[in-house]
C-alpha cells in the first residue's frame, strides 16, 4: 500500500492532529454534559407539580375565616455544578382587622406570594415573598404592601431585606449550628413554621412577625427524604422561620422597637430558627377529603399534633394542636384538582 503521508510530513502534522483531537474530545464531553438530562424530581416534588391545601373542617371555622396554601416546583437547574430547585408558593387568609369591634365589617384579606430556591438537600438558598393586606374601604399605611427577601451568603449567614412603601432596610442573620447542620454542603436546615398556624384567625394580633404562609404543608414535605433515612424513629430537625415585619400595616413605619429587634442577633437565634423533634410512627389509612390515603404518621410540636406523609414524601394532612381558639380538631389537608368546583357546591368536602 502506498504511504499517503511521508514521515517528515507526519512529524510536522502530529502536534496539530493531537491538538485537534484533544479539542474534539473536549467538545464532545462538553456537549454530552450539556445534553445530560436534569433531574425531574426533588424533595418529593416532580417538576411542574403543584399542591394545594386548605384549612378545615368547615364547621370549625369562624365567621369569614379561611386559609389556603399552594406550592409548586417550577424547575431544577444546574448552577455552577450544583442542582438548584426553584419553587413558587402562595397563601391567602382572612383576618380580623386589629382593633375592629365588628368582625363582620372588619375582615382583612391577606395574600402572600413568593419564590424559594433550595439545593437538593432542602437548604434554603434564596427566598422572597410579598405580603398584601386588603381591607376594602379601610386605608392602610405605606407598609400595607411589604416585600421580604432572605439571601444565604454562606458561612451560616443570611441577609434579610425589607421593602415597605418607599422605605427599605437590610439586616444580618446568623444561623445557629446543631449536630445535623453542615454549612459546607450546606444541609440540615429546612423552611417551615408550624407555630404560625396559631396565628390564623382572631389570635393573629399576638403573633407579631410570624407569617402563616410558612405553615404550608408543602414545606414540610421537603424533610421526607431525611425522615426515610432515619436509623431511629426520631430526630431533631432545624427549621428556618422567615418572619416578616411585625408592625401593623395600619401604622406608618417610623422606626422604633422593631428595628432594634431586627438587629438583636441573640434574640434572632430563637426568632428565626427552631429545633423540633420529629418522630416517625406507623402507617395508617386516613381520610383526606373525598379520598382515603395510606400515609406515615409523624409527631411534631409547636402548633401541629400529627402530620401524615405518603411514602413518596407528599404531606397529605396536618392535624393542628387544640388551643383556646381551636377546639374542633382542625386540620390542613391536601385539596385534589377535581375538587375545585365541588368545594364551592358542598362545604362538607372541606
DSSP string, 90-140: EEEEEEEPTT-S-TTT-EEEEEEEEEEEEETT--EEEEEEEEEEE-TTSPP
Give the separation between CA 93 and CA 108, rounded to whole angstroms: 8
Q: What is the pTM of this model?
A: 0.83
Give the separation between CA 54 and CA 340, rounded to whole angstroms: 12
Nearest to 307 by CA among 234, 226, 221: 221
Give the separation between CA 60 and CA 348, rounded to whole angstroms: 11
Mean model confidence pLDDT for the chain? 82
pLDDT score for 1: 47
Give the separation between CA 136 and CA 130, rounded to whole angstroms: 19
pLDDT score for 59: 84
For the chain, give percent helix, strand, coil, nearest 5. 25, 40, 35
- 324 secondary structure, DSSP code: T
pLDDT score for 5: 44
Classify residue 166 as left (phi > 0), alpha (psi -120 to 50) or beta: alpha
**What residue segments make up the domains of the chain, in order of their start?**
49-277
pLDDT score for 20: 44
pLDDT score for 22: 45
pLDDT tens digits, 38-95? 999 999 999 999 999 999 998 888 777 789 999 999 999 999 999 999 999 999 998 7
Give the separation between CA 196 and CA 66, rounded to whole angstroms: 15
Mean pLDDT, 10 residues at a time, over the chain (350 residues)? 42 43 47 68 97 92 85 96 97 75 69 97 97 68 78 97 89 94 96 85 61 95 87 87 76 71 85 92 94 95 90 94 70 91 54
Query: DSSP letters along 216-274, please?
Result: -HHHHGGGHHHHHT-SSSEEEEEEE------S-TTS----SHHHHHHT-HHHHHHHHEE
Give the separation between CA 48 and CA 36, rounded to whole angstroms: 19
CA Rg, the chain, in Å?
25
Coil/strand/helix, residue 46: strand
pLDDT score for 248: 66
What are φ and ψ of residue 98, in 5° steps? -55, 130
Q: Which residues contact 236 (CB under 8 A, 6 or more apart)?
A: 178, 179, 180, 275, 276, 277, 278
pLDDT score for 255: 61
pLDDT score for 344: 55
> The C-alpha cell of 79 is what?
448552577
Amino acid at each position: 500500500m502506498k504511504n499517503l503521508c511521508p514521515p517528515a510530513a507526519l512529524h510536522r502534522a502530529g502536534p496539530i492532529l493531537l491538538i485537534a483531537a484533544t479539542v474534539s474530545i473536549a467538545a464532545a464531553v462538553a456537549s454530552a454534559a450539556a445534553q445530560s438530562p436534569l433531574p425531574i424530581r426533588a424533595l418529593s416534588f416532580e417538576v411542574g407539580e403543584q399542591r394545594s391545601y386548605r384549612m378545615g373542617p368547615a364547621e370549625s371555622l369562624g365567621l369569614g375565616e379561611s386559609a389556603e396554601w399552594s406550592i409548586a416546583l417550577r424547575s431544577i437547574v444546574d448552577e455552577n455544578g450544583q442542582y438548584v430547585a426553584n419553587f413558587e408558593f402562595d397563601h391567602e387568609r382572612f383576618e380580623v382587622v386589629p382593633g375592629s369591634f365588628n368582625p363582620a365589617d372588619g375582615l382583612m384579606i391577606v395574600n402572600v406570594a413568593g419564590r424559594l430556591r433550595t439545593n437538593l438537600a432542602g437548604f434554603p438558598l434564596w427566598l422572597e415573598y410579598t405580603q398584601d393586606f386588603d381591607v376594602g374601604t379601610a386605608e392602610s399605611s405605606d407598609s400595607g404592601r411589604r416585600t421580604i427577601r432572605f439571601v444565604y451568603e454562606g458561612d451560616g449567614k443570611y441577609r434579610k431585606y425589607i421593602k415597605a412603601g418607599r422605605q427599605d432596610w437590610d439586616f444580618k442573620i446568623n444561623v445557629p449550628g446543631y449536630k445535623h447542620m453542615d454549612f459546607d454542603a450546606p444541609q440540615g436546615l429546612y423552611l417551615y413554621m408550624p407555630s404560625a398556624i396559631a396565628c390564623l384567625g382572631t389570635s393573629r394580633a399576638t403573633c407579631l412577625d410570624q407569617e402563616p404562609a410558612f405553615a404550608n404543608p408543602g414545606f414540610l414535605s421537603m424533610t421526607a427524604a431525611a425522615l426515610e433515612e432515619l436509623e431511629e424513629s426520631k430526630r431533631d430537625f432545624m427549621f428556618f422561620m422567615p418572619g416578616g415585619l411585625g408592625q401593623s400595616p395600619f401604622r406608618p413605619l417610623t422606626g422604633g422597637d422593631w428595628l432594634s429587634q431586627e438587629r438583636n442577633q441573640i434574640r434572632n437565634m430563637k426568632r428565626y430558627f427552631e429545633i423540633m423533634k420529629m418522630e416517625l410512627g406507623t402507617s395508617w389509612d386516613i381520610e383526606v377529603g373525598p379520598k382515603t390515603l395510606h400515609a406515615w404518621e409523624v409527631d411534631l410540636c409547636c402548633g401541629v399534633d400529627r402530620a401524615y406523609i405518603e411514602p413518596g414524601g407528599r404531606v397529605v394532612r396536618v392535624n393542628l394542636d387544640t388551643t383556646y381558639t381551636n377546639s374542633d380538631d382542625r386540620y390542613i389537608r391536601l385539596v385534589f384538582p377535581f375538587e375545585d368546583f365541588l368545594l364551592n357546591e358542598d362545604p362538607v368536602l372541606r
